[in-house]
Structure 1
């Protein structure tokens, strides 16, 4: 690793004072980051604001992530409101018959409703996962009923049999199967802990096979140790296929792909796929170690980075560097993320500033994990710190 260190990074480390360890809050203390987010951007009815670049619009991703964080924060009332709003407004109040539309807001006619009925399968998986775990942890069977109903829709509309790859999660039901036996896939849509949990909840479903195809996507869909935002997969015969460069995004890795490193870092080391997937993603370590900051974009073909990623990228990489046994890089990212998050929140009410939604969400994942608010067990189950006194520390 010393070969990757530049003189600039060494200076940065000294200036940052990394020898001082950041104090960790008590594992059973209220989660201040979630409370601050919820008070600012979760309406009383459960709608999450700012999750879309379009003003006054909300997304299924924002709703699903917030649902998960409400569970991690043991915030039962907000969890109920967030799911109720999502169920009624995105899934037509019938999750067993309608996948959640990914975009909701005010249309050109002035009406508030779904603006794009296509669904996003990653949000759908997070909805199902949060509901399953809410039932397990809080004993609310209605959540499990909704989870399994929605899971049935995902199986029917968002899982496809790809030649040589088997059952595979598509990013959505419409627009990802291209002509000439070509599919567009998104590696950030398949966190391994979620797929483990779904396989246990629906053992007769395709989830073990989807897990295998997802691992193959994560290990073979990138290059130079880097993950792409989007990957093409072309069937070459009835039983074979190859990963290709995505025709739309080319070989770019950026705002989608940063989550691939995040999910890999949070996967329990007891999962037999954790180490091989992490080993396939070492390019981000090399690029970040050069300056101490992650690039905003990477070109997979050349293995080079461009620009500096926002603070959310640093937050997302904290679990990744910890899993890689690089605590100095993890601490560097955490210090930067906390500092810039505080600064962004101070100016978040200025309408001229861009939304901090995505950076905040990545920070809730990465910094919440660093605070030991939660862990994923090897079987995919959520282990929040509130489940038993400081239980996450013992995993």
Structure 2
């Protein structure tokens, strides 16, 4: 990354040579110099909620979304993990696609994505079936469902997005479908864990490997999504319990401030608690990077925002020291792997760095995304992370404290500052 030729002043923030020197770091495989001239998005200026009268980048054309559609979504609405051996579609991809289409006010694409999700993943009826998590080219050359087990992260995002779309687009069909999906999540993808309470399982089966042991995924339960579902469906008390147990999962599995991809909860002989996952041990990587993304996008007045920012503060310190996030990290020791995280990892950390009071670090990671993508375009997952992290950065969407979705295109394209 090249340094800037000069410094600039914006929103009462001045870039200085000393600030540049403080951020410059060299490490291992990547020499990284953070930029000295940072044009800050308006939302970094204040911790208070502000609605400026001037229009912002939030309603400009969204080239990244258009590129994503062209590169990863088929004409009939299937999000494809391009480059995978089975040309797979996963329910998570369909769910993220629906959310991003709503953020972009792209109703035609939203409808195609929803139809395809229902037709190929949910046996033609989302009112009765949670979507299978994996569809693609089978070993015999045929196309269809490869693994019918649902994935609760996708199902939560689908239910949440449909409920928000129903409210925002005044479409009762979406509201009804989101409600039914949410009820299926509660009935099929949760369990009461001894000593913990009602908890979100990663799927309906396969995550209770032995008596007294359950596999859980910290990145599967964004607290703002759970709050949004609780706000719309308050008659289901389980949502509030899921918020409590998910908070514990996030905090108690990060002893050194880094989240693991997977964890286990064990309850036996009167003792209960979280332990490293037997399959992945305490490794944090491609799943866990979303934990920081969700935490960074919490409303500043969310009762758990400050707790999570404090819990994961070591990731901020790591980025300041190295100039990039790690691709993997041993969360039991805090020791990072040899490789730097890719462009999607940097994009996912932008909201977290900004919410942590580090706007210069946030902007530097956004610049790193642009720099890396000029050499190697990101794949499906990296592009999703970039759409979410960078879309949030420029103010296209926000999650309010109760979990409801705020969209710039509905509010005169003015940023809502936090």
TM over 0.5: yes
1:113 partner SS: strand
Displacement after TM superposition at 1:301 (Å): 2.0
Write out aligned runs for 1:175-324 (5 A).
175-205=206-236, 206-236=238-268, 241-306=272-337, 307-324=339-356
- How many angstroms does 1:236 deviate by? 3.2
Q: 2:4 is matched with which residue?
A: none
- Equivalence for 1:326: 358
Q: 2:58 aligns with which of 27, 33, 38?
A: 27
**Hey, what's the Cα distance between the residues in 1 that align with 2:145 and 2:342?**
30
C-alpha deviation, 1:49, in angstroms: 1.2
- Structure 1 residues 212 and 391: alpha-carbon distance in aligned structure 2, compared to 1, 3 A threshold: farther
3-state SS of paired residue (1:105): strand
CA contact (8 A) 2:199 2:242 kept: yes
Greater mean deviation of Cα atoms: 315-324 or 51-60: 51-60
The CA deviation at 1:6 is 7.7
Whole-Å separation in 2 of the counterparts to 1:387 and 1:256:
32
Instruction: Tell me how far 1:9 sits from its aligned partner.
Output: 5.5
Task: Describe the SS at the equivalent of 2:150.
Answer: coil
By how many angstroms is 1:70 displaced? 0.3
Does the aligned pair in 2 maintain the 1:287–1:294 contact within 8 Å?
A: yes
TM-score (normalised: structure 2): 0.86
CA distance in 2, matches of 1:18, 1:265: 23
Distance 2:207 2:189 in 1: 10
Partners of 1:49 and 1:91 in 2: how far apart?
17
- How far is 1:392 from its partner? 3.6
Farther off after superposition, 260-269 or 47-56: 47-56
> C-alpha separation between the residues in 2 aligned to 1:313 and 1:17?
18
Q: d(CA) in 2 for partners of 1:284 and 1:316?
A: 12
2:108 aligned with 1:85: no
Provide the rounded CA distance (Å) in 2 between the counterparts of 1:303 and 1:162.
28
1:288–1:369 distance in 2 versus 1, CA, 3 Å:
same
Question: 1 CA distance for matches of 2:106 and 2:23?
Answer: 44
Unmatched tracts of structure 2, length 5 or more: 1-18, 43-55
Q: TM-score scaled to structure 1, two decimals?
A: 0.91
Equivalent position of 1:54 in the other structure:
85
What is the CA-CA distance between 1:286 and the residue it aligns to?
2.2
Aligned: 1:364 with 2:387: yes
* Larger relative contact order (CA 8 Å, sep ≥ 6): 2
Aligned residues: 382
Q: Which residue does the alignment assign to 2:45? A: none
Q: CA RMSD in A?
A: 2.2
Q: Which secondary structure does the structure 1 equivalent of 2:410 belong to?
A: coil
